[in-house]
Amino acid sequence: MPKIEIHSFFDVSRKDYFVAVCSGLLLTASFPRIGLAFVAWGALVPLIYLAARNQPPACFTLGWLAGLFHGLSLLYWITYVVNRYGNLHLPVSLGICFLLVAYLAIFPGLFCAGLSWLRHRGLPWPLAAPFLWVTLELGKSRLLTGFPWENLGYSQYSWLPVIQMADLTGVFGISFVLVLSNALLFILIFPANRQRKALTRLYPLLLLVSLVSLVVGYGSWRLVKLEDYRGPSFKVALVQGNIAQDTKWDPAFQQTTLEKYERLTKEVAKHEPQLVIWPETATPFYFLADRKNTESLFLQVREMQIPLLFGSPAYRRKGELLRFYNRAYLLDGYGMPIGYYDKIHLVPFGEYVPWKRLLFFVDKLVQAAGDFASGEQAIVLDMLPAKIGVLICYEAIFPELSRNLVNAGANFLVNITNDAWFGRSSAPYQHLSMAVLRSVENRVPMARCANTGISGFIDSRGRITQVTRLFEDATMLGTIQLGEGKTLYTRYGDWFAWSCLVVSVLGFAYSMIMIGRRK
């Protein structure tokens, strides 16, 4: 392996800075919209190379730089959202995006520094890479409300044989496989014993081939088994209203919005679906509170005699206190409400301001920040034979929420969302890619209904069977097979990720003990 040692925090060669940036950009290339899934199998090789030639402080700097360029090129759309809908000036919006990305970049920084630390303690550090990476992904997904947006495993969403293992390990298992592949590729390219290159490269090559064969073999076997499954069928219609975010809550456009949904729904109702779905906050009024518009919606459902699932803002009064909710309602074919679900995982600084006492200035700074309360439990909406688990907006990127719904009895997931905020950026495509893994993890299909797209259907294999285009009025009809039952992941959750955390802690504890003994 490379022998160059750099001892100063700042004494990093220009080439190493360039290598770090390349690693970050390669990571981005593996995600939508570029979507070169195969790149993820080797995108971290440059970062592991840097860990092999630098001291831990310099490695943290380089890893953070790689994470910074990855984050800026992946999450650039945050600037657009904050600038346009947060009513902030462009420099401030850029600063907010940079701060978020700078925080997220800490995790690849710790990854690179951690590998360097283990290398200096004489441990098999390349093979420790997947355990450390998954541990850090778990931290990123949980700390400070969590932000698991496009964890590494999501890059494989379009490669069906690879993602099938998620029913055992969740998306973290796929991340583990990808990082292990990167580590083995590094050992192949930079063998430890240069005098015996052929022999030194034989073992990692065999391990790499075995790893890929095992993952693809399991995935292919599961896909064949799932072909034999014939669950109850359920006919669903999606209505993509394509309501511009600028006019969505303008009272002058309220009737126009309702008339559009009524027209599109009547068109698709001719095909006699068993359920019609509208997007998140489809109704531009408080359902049940606004009597006139509520009665109009009741009448529409009674006329078509088809149940309707839709998003609406809601509120609950407790004394003089009003609590607002982002809610999904289910009406039966007679227009009667039979259940609702309140969004549990709210968007920080979008739907609420976390740590209000500490960040008292934020709601004044970001005028679009809401003041919503979160729901308290996973509620399944019963529309036999379907038992519907609703995920509102970016709840689809949190595996534990889908898992809780399936454990509560859901055999069908519905993701209603409003991705109009993202414009024509890569964000709607990234959002869809993460929803795919929720179906695979729990072996239940998903219907995704988005205000401006992308709407579509995902089967229990993770196959996207139908999609709409962005920013078009659209309806879609699909017949799905309801879920087959609980998977290992559904029952035990992120057991694999927590196991990686235990291994990582034990590895670093052992290295500290060895240091103590040497002293």
Identified catalytic residue from 59, 97, 112, 393: 393
- CA dihedral defined by 243, 247, 253, 254, rounded to 10 degrees? 70
CA distances from 498 to 109, 199, 367, 369, 400 (A): 21, 35, 38, 34, 14
Query: How far is Cα 483 from Cα 338, in angstroms, rounded to an integer?
Result: 22
Structure tokens at 261: 């949904």
With beta carbons less than 8 A apart as the criterion, state whether 25 and 13 touch: no
Identified catalytic residue from 150, 280, 395, 441: 280
Comparing CA positions, the residue from 402, 398, 424 lying closest to residue 411 is 402
Q: Could you confirm whether 137 is annotated as catalytic? A: no
Identified catalytic residue from 112, 343, 387, 441: 343
Query: How far is Cα 159 from Cα 406, in angstroms, rounded to an integer?
Result: 24
Q: Could you confirm whether 393 is annotated as catalytic? A: yes
Q: Could you confirm whether 280 is annotated as catalytic? A: yes
The terminus-to-terminus CA distance of the chain in angstroms comes to 27
Query: How far is Cα 326 from Cα 371, in angstroms, rounded to an integer?
Result: 10
Q: In the beta sheet, which residues pair with residue 477? A: 237
CA distances from 384 to 95, 233, 255, 276, 481 (A): 49, 11, 33, 14, 13
With beta carbons less than 8 A apart as the criterion, state whether 411 and 62 touch: no
- List Cβ neighbours of 66 (8 Å cut-off, separation of 6 or more): 20, 21, 23, 24, 27, 46, 47, 105, 108, 112
Structure tokens at 418: 């409003």
With beta carbons less than 8 A apart as the criterion, state whether 330 and 307 touch: yes
Query: How far is Cα 3 from Cα 214, in angstroms, rounded to an integer?
Result: 34
Query: How far is Cα 394 from Cα 388, in angstroms, rounded to an integer?
Result: 17
Residue 364 buriedness (CB in 10 A; 0-12 / 13-18 / 19+): exposed
In the 8-state DSSP scheme, what is residue 351? Answer: T
CA distances from 227 to 45, 72, 287 (A): 37, 40, 41
Q: What are the residue numbers of the active site?
A: 280, 343, 393
